[in-house]
Structure 1
Amino acid sequence: MGTILAVAGLLVAVCGLIWQVRVFAHQVKESHSALNRGTQEAIEENIRQRQRATLDFIGTTIERQHALYTRINADPDFLTKASDHTRKEFMDLRSYLGYLENIAAGVNLGIFDQTVVDRTVGSRLVRAWERYGVWIQETREFQDNRRLFEELEHLAEKLPAITPVVKKTDSPEPVVA
């Protein structure tokens, strides 16, 4: 009878141990799930904060951007004048591209949100590189500074290309017989 009681006691102890291991495994699983949810929420909040900071920066500097943009686009001969490193137009273009360079550096470093920049000023960044890329290359050579506006170049290459807008006409296409 003592052996049966000992076996029964051992069986109860083993069953209790199995039950505790299962409870512990369940707790570990729940903790892991909670950690994953918390991590995901922190990542999403970080993204929202970066997007908000990007919008704030662009919003607070938009007047400066427009003033620089207007100055360099007001004169059809602006780029010719800006090729002379002693002229005011040279410094105006450097200022405008420097502003875009700061935005591009922020995106390339992960400080600014690329999607927000693309949707707000992305076309300006791409157009600036398209319009002034040759000028930038010449200025790099003249100043012996191969890194001049490299952040702008890298970001312009990453952003989607700008497709030209095709204007629709009211008249149908001519029919060739």
Structure 2
Amino acid sequence: MGLFLALSGLLVAVCGLIWQVRVFAHQVSESRLALDRATKETVDENIRQRQRATLDFIGTTIERQHALYTKINSDSGFLSKASDHDRQEFLDLRSYLGYLENIAAGVNMDIFDQDVVDRTVGNRLIRAWERYGEWIRHARLFQNDERLYEELENLVKRLPPLARAMEPNAEAS
């Protein structure tokens, strides 16, 4: 009888241990799920904050961007004038490209949100590279600085191409 009681006690203890291990495993699983949810919520909130900061920056600098853009696009001979380092056009183009370079660096460093930048000023970034890429290559040689406007170049390479079909002259091409 004593052996039966001892075995019964041992069986109850083993069953209790198994039950406690299962409860602990369930608690671990629930904790893991809660941590995953909290991590996802934190990541999502960080993305929203980065998007908001990107929109804020672009919104507060849009007037300056527009003024620079208008200045460099109002004269059909602007680019030839901008090739002369002693002219105001040279400084204006450098200022505009510097502004775009700062945006690109912010995106490339994950400070600014690439999707927001693409949706708001992505076309300007791409068109600036298309229009002034050759000027930039000459400036790199002249200044002996291969990294000049490299942030802009790297970002433009990652952005989706412009929708050529939407342009008025697309059918004539």
| Cross-structure match for 2:66 | 66
Matched residue SS, 2:111: coil
Percent identity between the two aligned chains: 72
| Cross-structure match for 1:3 | 3
Aligned length: 168
Mapped pair 1:88 → 2:64? no
1:129-148 alignment runs, 5 A limit = 129-148=129-148
Q: Which runs of 5+ in 1 are unaligned?
A: 169-177
Q: Which runs of 5+ in 2 are unaligned?
A: none
Matched residue SS, 2:80: helix
- Shift in alpha-carbon separation, 1:126–1:167, aligned structure 2, 3 A: closer
TM-score (norm 1): 0.93
Coordinate RMSD, CA, aligned: 1.1
> Letter of the aligned partner of 1:124 in structure 2?
R
In 1, Cα distance between the equivalents of 2:75 and 2:12? 92
| Cross-structure match for 2:39 | 39
| Cross-structure match for 2:102 | 102
Mapped pair 1:49 → 2:61? no
TM-score (norm 2): 0.95
| Cross-structure match for 2:12 | 12
In 2, Cα distance between the equivalents of 1:71 and 1:166? 23
Q: Which runs of 4+ in 1 moved over 3 A?
A: none
| Cross-structure match for 1:173 | none
In 2, Cα distance between the equivalents of 1:124 and 1:73? 12
In 1, Cα distance between the equivalents of 2:138 and 2:156? 18
Q: CA deviation at 1:163?
A: 2.6
Q: CA deviation at 1:162?
A: 1.0
| Cross-structure match for 2:128 | 128
